[in-house]
Amino acid sequence: MRTMCAVIHLSDSPEQTQTLAAALAQTLRGGEVIALDGELGAGKTQFVRGLLKGLGGNPRTVSSPTFVLLNVYDSGRLPLFHLDAYRVSGSDDFESIGFNELIEQGGVVVVEWASRVIDLLPQKRIDVQIQAIGPTVRSIQVNR
């Protein structure tokens, strides 16, 4: 059974979402899996930009991997593997790109639309749920 510590943040802008994610990135040491969920337009990619910035990389290089399934970013400190499960037909798609090997590489693995491949994700992970609660306001729940 997973024991979690949940923290809820409110974000008023994409920049604030990035700042929250950058703060989380400062605590990462490598080997973490971040399961990222939220509706279209909630700010998942903004969150990943903040993670990369917090790891020392260039946030402007981040794009949604919806059509390529995987983007890899070098931050200087830790590699960031950014996956998107939105268009996958099942866990087999993730297994075919070597998902388990990515986890073992000592970087940070972020999976957008993680609920679609939850059976592949390790029990020890960081769950992040982003929810729009207004035109520009987001609730960001982080469970560690």
**Percentage of the chain modeled with pLDDT above 70:** 93
Element (H, E) at 21: helix 14-25
* pLDDT tens string 31-72: 999 999 999 989 999 999 999 999 999 998 898 766 677 889
Architecture of the structural domain at 6-143: 3-Layer(aba) Sandwich (3.40)
Section 83-102 average pLDDT: 79
Q: Kindly report the pTM of this predicted structure.
A: 0.91
| Look-up of token digits 């969150």 | 47
Q: What is the mean pLDDT of the chain?
A: 89
Which residues contact residue 134 at a Cβ distance below 8 angstroms, ignoring those fewer than 6 apart? Answer: none
CA-nearest of 69, 45, 61, 53 to 19 is 53
Strands 108-112 and 79-84, bridge-based pairing? parallel
Cβ-in-10-Å burial (0-12, 13-18, 19+) of 33 comes to buried
Strands 79-84 and 70-74, bridge-based pairing? antiparallel
